[in-house]
Amino acid sequence: MSYFRTRQGGGILLLVLAVFAFALLDTSTKIATALAPTLMLLWFRYAFQAVLTFALRFPVQGRSLLTTPNPRFQALRGVLLLITSACSFFGLQHLPVGEFTAMVMLSPLVATALAAWTLKAHVSRGRWLMLATGLGGVLFVVRPGGQVFSWALLFPVALVSAYAWFQVLTSRLSGEENPYTTHFYTGLVGALIMTPAAVFSWSTTALLSYWYWFIALGFLGTFGHLMLIRAYARASAPVLAPFLYCQIAFATLGGWLVFQHVPDALAWVGIAVIAASGIGNALLSAQELARLRRQ
């Protein structure tokens, strides 16, 4: 237990807490979107994040919370995460939580490839191998005739693309922006864009009847991202990255407990391959970082 009192150990605990919140968010989303208008829920999730972040951080940071040297990048980052959430909210209406999450966890591998293209970052052969292995795992999950093979697979495909670009942009901004400022603007951009859609689909009856699901989605999304920020403030990305894949286990467990869904045998193989490739990619990052420090 003493290890978890260190900065790295505390970062790991915070990260596991974050991905647990994200798994609960996905499970709650699948329930809530069957009860209330999806666009209204999506607006509330981002409005909650913007309001809560402002309430918690403005007394501490003052006007510096609103100061950003990269307003266009902040807007683009907010749009990308909104696209990610929209794909999740609509995709989870048609796909099981566990398999959906497993496919989404391909995002860090795709982000590595995009970083090589856009940021001219060096990507080793081992990383390309991990990406190819992860894609092979996805084919086991989404194979024709499987439990999840349908048109709805377009949602996780779009989500992986948007979230990979989101990660690349976050990496680009990480050394220049206060993380809480970025968190606030992400919520604000999402809320502003979704406001017209929320007005168009507004249902006071749904809000009064299922207000607790609105609160749950807003809280879990905001809490998860705040824990993620705190985790990366305590520990390095290579240390934390393998633990991101706990989300697959949490999501699959939630799918079983709440929806009585269990992936078939080949889907289990695909999920394991995706997780293994992601962990392998993280371990390669740790090795590369260690070599750079020795030079």
Predicted pLDDT at 38: 95
pLDDT at 119: 58
Could you give the number of structural domains in the chain?
A: 1
pLDDT in tens, the chain (295 residues): 555 567 777 888 888 899 899 999 999 999 999 999 999 999 999 999 999 999 999 999 998 999 988 888 889 989 999 999 999 999 889 888 878 888 887 777 777 677 666 656 666 677 677 777 777 777 777 665 656 666 778 888 888 888 888 877 776 666 677 888 988 999 999 999 999 999 999 999 999 999 999 999 999 999 998 888 888 777 766 677 777 778 888 888 888 888 888 777 777 787 788 778 777 777 776 666 666 566 5
- pLDDT, position 118: 63
By residue range, what is the domain housing residue 176?
2-294
Check residue 215 and give its pLDDT. 95
Determine the pLDDT at residue 15.
85
Tally of CB atoms within 10 A around 271: 26
Note the pTM of the prediction, 2 decimals.
Answer: 0.83
